[in-house]
Amino acid sequence: MIKRFFSLVFASLFAVSWALPARAVTFIRDAETETIIAGYATPLFTAARLPDPSAVHVYLIHDKSINAFVAGGMNLFIYTGLLMKTERPNQLIGVMAHETGHIAGGHLARLPEALRAATIEAIVACVLGLGGAVASGEAAAAAACQIGQHVGLTTLLSFTRTQESAADQGGLSYLDITGQSARGTMEFLKILSQQEALLSGNQDPYMRTHPLTQDRIDAVAAHIQLSRFSDVPDKPEDIAGFKRIQAKLRGYTEPLARVLQRYPESDNSLESRYARAIAYFYPAGQINLKKSMPLVDSLIADYPDDPYFQELKGEILLKGATRPWDAIPFYEAAVRGAPHSPLLRLELAMARIATEDPGMVQQAIPELEEVVRQEPKNRDAWHQLSIAYGRSGQVCMAALALAEKHAAASAPGARKQAKDQAQRAMQCLPEGSPGWLRAQDIYNQMDRDEDE
């Protein structure tokens, strides 16, 4: 579900936006989508012999443009437009293989140092030309953006022809190593070629930063002729995951009428029921539980061990019907099915907090502590943890959780708020205790950041 503020809502599809001068930048967090894309990406990262494939972070940006890029270290950014406009998983995997080639080739070293070290939101704001680094108060990243604007943002993000060729060759080799065809890569290049006649301002960003050349097309064609994997089809599980990603995104982001046109009532496939269940639950203006509930119930009946259908049922009960007690068993089932997902644990904790029952709030605390252990910069989890601590009478720990939340932010005034909350925590936590030492670390770090 798309939410344009830092605070999370009870939904399986989370998004966080930054209000920037020209438009909002929305990052989507969704446990299922991230798991599926990680399944595509991890073999490529391993094939590229990256030092630690798990250290590569994939970020989803809610934007209808076709685009993907790497920046700020080992960070891969994928636009939802790319997910929606590619036609099969092999096409998407081909793009990811190419971008992995840029990471493995060390091509990010050419970016300004300030941009490489900037926060994720500052990077994306700079990339989109929104001046968001200035809005976030990051002077160094803002300077990097000014450099980019001076020479042109397209120039800033685009690579040399040699680097593009190297990334292509790397990507093609990773496809071979993982036993996958390069035909999807060629198909994606053909999708891009349809934009060549458009004015540059109307082209998708990927076309502008990864210029299509005949040499690139010829190299891919030659690889297809020689590779013994060229006729390998998409794996059935990859196709199933790809269809689910698209159905989910369309259900949450497209008008109900368009969803029903693409996924009509006569279509009883998994992805069609999935898209309609979401679209009926989350249309603009009203919620139709009478149509949404039977669809998700049918999915659970057919796939009782699927954690994400359980998650959707919990979401509908919690947000659509305002029944947190009824939602909890479904969130618990989702966590049992995907125990390593911090986002599912976060949703379960939020449902428990929503009951306002002291016992349930107490149970939410270890769930949230596990979430922030896995994702120490998850501001929404820290916010929910501060609520749970506060309602359970642990006001000092609540202050520490708020300090962590603000310390992880880059918005104006966040450092002062982090210092204030850290100081409040130090005033009431036992001196020398782990919490007190952490509060002191946050306070001192914010001081150092202000001096830089």
Tell me the two tokens of residue 334. Answer: 């989702």
Give the pLDDT of residue 411. 67
Residue 209 to residue 56: CA distance in whole angstroms: 21
Which residue did the predictor score with more confidence, 108 or 225? Answer: 225
The reply to whether 261 falls in a domain is no
Phi then psi dihedrals of residue 101, to 5 deg: -60, -35
Residue 114 to residue 139: CA distance in whole angstroms: 9
What is the count of structural domains for the chain?
Answer: 1
The reply to whether 191 falls in a domain is yes
Give the pLDDT of residue 55. 77
The reply to whether 146 falls in a domain is yes
The reply to whether 189 falls in a domain is yes
Q: Could you tell me the pLDDT band of residue 32, with boundaries at 50, 70 and 90?
A: very high
Phi then psi dihedrals of residue 58, to 5 deg: -105, 125
Which residue did the predictor score with more confidence, 172 or 410? Answer: 172
> 345: closest CA among 326, 367, 327, 366?
367
Phi then psi dihedrals of residue 116, to 5 deg: -65, -30
* C-beta separation of 376 from 405 below 8 A: no
Tell me the two tokens of residue 416. Answer: 């002062």
> 136: closest CA among 118, 154, 148?
118
Half-sphere exposure of residue 349: CA atoms within 13 angstroms, side-chain side: 28
The reply to whether 97 falls in a domain is yes
* C-beta separation of 324 from 354 below 8 A: yes
3-state class (DSSP) for residue 205: helix
Long-range contacts of 349-355 (CB under 8 A, 24+ apart): 349/384, 349/388, 350/8, 350/10, 350/384, 351/10, 351/314, 351/318, 351/324, 351/327, 352/324, 352/328, 353/384, 353/387, 353/388, 353/391, 354/10, 354/318, 354/324, 355/324, 355/325, 355/328
**Cβ atoms within 10 Å, residue 272:** 20
Give the contacts of 117 (CB within 8 A, at least 6 positions apart): 72, 140, 141
Q: Which domain CATH number covers 193?
A: 3.30.2010.10
The reply to whether 93 falls in a domain is yes
Which residue did the predictor score with more confidence, 358 or 414? Answer: 358
Q: Could you tell me the pLDDT band of residue 348, with boundaries at 50, 70 and 90?
A: very high
Angle, CA 162 vertex, CA 160 and CA 167 arms, to 5°: 95
Residue 369 to residue 364: CA distance in whole angstroms: 9
User: Average per-residue pLDDT in the chain?
Assistant: 83
Give the pLDDT of residue 149. 43
* Whether residue 439 has pLDDT greater than 80: yes
Give the pLDDT of residue 69. 80
Q: Which of 53-62, 360-369, 385-394 has the lowest mean pLDDT?
A: 53-62
- Average pLDDT, integer, range 126-140: 47
Q: Which of 143-157, 172-186, 346-360, 404-418 has the lowest mean pLDDT?
A: 143-157
- Average pLDDT, integer, range 345-351: 97
Task: Of 50-54, 204-208, 246-250, give the range with the top mean pLDDT.
Answer: 246-250
Give the pLDDT of residue 16. 46
H or E element in which residue 109 lies: none
Give the pLDDT of residue 312. 96
Give the pLDDT of residue 20. 40
Residue 21 to residue 78: CA distance in whole angstroms: 22
Q: Could you identify the residue written with the tokens 């920046």?
A: 71
Beta-bridged to residue 17, according to DSSP, are 26
With the C-alpha atoms ordered 330, 331, 336, 338, is the resulting torsion angle positive or negative? positive
* C-beta separation of 122 from 146 below 8 A: no
For β-strands 75-79 and 57-61, DSSP reports them as parallel
Give the pLDDT of residue 2. 35
Angle, CA 85 vertex, CA 79 and CA 90 arms, to 5°: 90
Residue 28 to residue 31: CA distance in whole angstroms: 10
The reply to whether 327 falls in a domain is no
Question: Tens digit of pLDDT for each residue in 282-338?
Answer: 765 578 899 999 999 999 999 999 999 999 999 999 988 789 999 999 999 999 999
Question: Tens digit of pLDDT for each residue in 40-75?
Answer: 999 999 999 988 887 778 888 888 888 888 776 677
* Whether residue 169 has pLDDT greater than 90: yes
Give the contacts of 18 (CB within 8 A, at least 6 positions apart): 24, 25, 121, 125, 132, 135, 136, 411
Q: Could you tell me the pLDDT band of residue 140, with boundaries at 50, 70 and 90?
A: very low
User: What Å distances lie between residue 193 and 135, 210, 267, 336, CA to CA?
Assistant: 36, 12, 33, 45
Q: For residue 152, give its domain range.
A: 13-236
Q: Could you tell me the pLDDT band of residue 211, with boundaries at 50, 70 and 90?
A: low
* Whether residue 156 has pLDDT greater than 80: no
The reply to whether 253 falls in a domain is no
Give the contacts of 57 (CB within 8 A, at least 6 positions apart): 74, 75, 76
